[in-house]
Chains A and B, each alone.
Chain A
């Protein structure tokens, strides 16, 4: 038992040393603005509550490169994370007071409903079924279907270019149907999107198609092998910030902040530091939907 404790202690020391190292290594890469010192909010609002508590819990993905991916230092990085930090800053909460919780596609609604997170910023597509359960601020970004091609391929820049050619996608998925039915590509069915990468590398298919966000993640991992055929997308998937369904005040306030980010360049800065590494064109903030 004693040995166990000392081992744990030495582990702790090692871990904190590693943490300190990585912190100093990463210093300065953060783009987040300083928290608003004298943020004050109307009594009874969620903003006031969070500001007083000096703590906010945000759900994001931990496995989506460029948007929300947990690094070796245990901190998530990405565009969604930058958005969360910026909103927290406007609430007067510094970035290190944010508690990041992993949310996956299956638990996002229930985490919000149970109050386990204050916000979900996790490549979260706004749709009517989800609006029944939670509220969405934003959209803050419009993702959409795109094409991944080999780096040296210049013949494909738009979906019309793959007509009659082989394109890999997941069996029966919506992107597979769109590329086949609307653009006349011959779909090569795969079990997962990662399974599509080898045939693309071997030039057995000319492209892989699904959401640009997923594809950008592959480019981020292997920038020498793949590229996006274009920064443009040919379908629209609005990403929103999920919060409690009846909290309209909070939702409107977030929408105001998003518009402010666009105006003061914070949005552009956050994009260029993260997803902009692959998707070079900085998107315009989509018109927020104040329903």
Chain B
């Protein structure tokens, strides 16, 4: 227990880095994922095909392998970055975007087709239909699964610890090296700091669900 208290500064640094990775990757994944979902329902066949291909590849590949590509294969192909955090963000957001795309698509499908037809009949373009009519309704239904995905993202960010980024899990490994006799406490400490992010996210999901979500 005293090992945890003695290493609070390390925990805090790791916590902030985990939060940083999760927030940045989460925002990118939400944007890219929504874009992919929009492509998936667009009238252009090529866009639909690309979106489907991307989603299937990204969500069916183990995250560790995606990390390996981002951290080691990309630099070898000439894509250099100064910080390994960049690789972690690339890997996390490209992986999570696939799941977001699928969740948003399921939301889009849950909006009655009459809504889109009505909008089209008064002369709205595809982008307008999607942006003003379909997506606002779709997003409300998919808030709970979206937050599920974001919680998974926070936990997935621990893979970055094995790819040269010193976040919570990376510190957990370092501290269990330093305090070999108190590994259990050290790991419980790591778990506690993860819960500090994920539990409020879960509560937020609950709250939003009651406020805005609509069941169909």
| Contact status B164-A189, CB under 8 Å | yes
Given contacts A199-B164, A204-B80, contact A189 B75 (CB under 8 A): no
User: How far is it, in angstroms, between the C-alpha of A189 and the C-alpha of B168 when the chains are bound?
Assistant: 13
Complex contacts, B164 vs chain A, CB 8 Å: 168, 188-190, 199
**Given the complex of chains A and B, what is the CA–CA distance between A188 and B177 in angstroms?**
16
Which among B84, B166, B175 is the interface contact of A204 at CB below 8 angstroms? B84
Size class of B's contact patch?
A: 10 to 19
Say yes or no for B42: interface residue by CB 8 A criterion. Answer: no
B contact residues around A38 at 8 Å (CB): none
Tell me the nearest residue of chain B to A199, going by C-beta: B164
Please give the distance in Å from A279's CB to the nearest CB on chain B.
28
Q: How far is the CA of A172 from the CA of B164 in the complex (A)?
A: 12
Q: Would you call A171 an interface residue if the criterion is a C-beta within 8 Å of the partner chain's C-beta atoms?
A: yes
CB atoms of A204 and B75 under 8 A apart: yes
Residues of A within 8 A of B175 (CB): 172
In contact, A191 and B173 (Cβ under 8 angstroms): yes
B124 at the interface (CB under 8 A from A): no
CB distance from A190 to the nearest CB of B (A): 6
For A204, what are the chain B residues with a Cβ–Cβ distance below 8 Å? 75, 80, 84
**A189 near B174: Cβ-Cβ < 8 Å:** yes
A195 and B163 alpha carbons, distance in the complex (Å): 9
- A4-22 CB mask vs B (1 if < 8 Å, else 0) is 0000000000000000000
Q: A189-B166, A199-B164, A204-B84 are in contact. Are A173 and B177 (CB under 8 A)?
A: yes
Beta-carbon nearest neighbor of A201 in chain B: B76
Chain A residue with minimal CB distance to B164? A188
Say how far A161's CB is from chain B's closest CB, in angstroms. Answer: 19
Q: In the complex, what residue of chain A is closest to B174 when comparing beta carbons?
A: A172
Q: Is the CB of A198 within 8 A of B178?
A: no
**Cβ contact within 8 Å between A198 and B72:** yes
With A172-B178, A204-B84 known to touch, is A189 a contact of B170 (CB < 8 Å)? yes
Query: Given A172-B177, A189-B174, A191-B173, are A199 and B166 also a contact pair (CB < 8 Å)?
Result: no
Neighbouring A residues of B178 by C-beta, 8 Å: 172
Which residue in chain B gives the minimum CB-CB distance to A177? B178
With the chains together, A198 CA to B68 CA distance in Å? 10
CB distance from A93 to the nearest CB of B (A): 40
Collect the chain B residues with CB atoms within 8 Å of residue A202's CB: 72, 75-76, 80
Report the interface size class on chain A.
10 to 19
Q: Are B72 and A171 in contact (CB under 8 A)?
A: no
Alpha-carbon distance A108/B43, docked complex (angstroms): 69
CA distance A191 to B172 in the complex (A): 12
With A199-B72, A199-B164, A202-B72 given, is the CB distance from A188 to B174 under 8 Å?
no
Query: Roughly how many angstroms separate A172 CA and B75 CA in the complex, as a whole number?
Result: 25
Question: Which A residues from 177 to 195 make CB contacts under 8 A with B?
Answer: 188-191, 195
Chain A CB within 8 A of B1 CB = no
A191 and B162 within 8 A (CB): yes
Question: Given the complex, which residues of B lie within 8 Å of A172, measured CB to CB?
Answer: 173-178
Q: How far is the CB of B31 from chain A (nearest CB, A)?
A: 27
Per the 8 Å Cβ criterion, residues 192-249 of A in contact with B are 195, 198-199, 201-204
List of B residues within 8 angstroms of A201 by Cβ: 76
Report the minimal beta-carbon distance from A273 to chain B, rounded to whole angstroms. Answer: 36
Chain B residues with CB under 8 Å of A189's CB are: 164, 166, 170, 174
Chain A residues contacting B173 (CB-CB under 8 Å) are 171-172, 191
Residues of B148-185 at the interface with A, using a CB-CB cut-off of 8 Å, are: 162, 164, 166, 170, 173-178
Closest chain A residue, CB of each to CB of B177: A172
Chain B residues, CB < 8 A from A171: 166, 170, 173-174, 177
Residues of A within 8 A of B76 (CB): 198, 201-202
Q: Which 8 A-B pairs have the closest CB atoms?
A: A172-B174, A172-B177, A202-B75, A171-B174, A198-B72, A188-B164, A171-B173, A191-B162
Could you name 9 residue pairs across A and B whose Cβ atoms are closer than 8 Å? A172-B176, A172-B178, A188-B84, A189-B174, A190-B164, A191-B162, A199-B75, A202-B76, A204-B84
Q: Which residues of A contact B (CB under 8 A)?
A: 168, 171-173, 188-191, 195, 198-199, 201-204
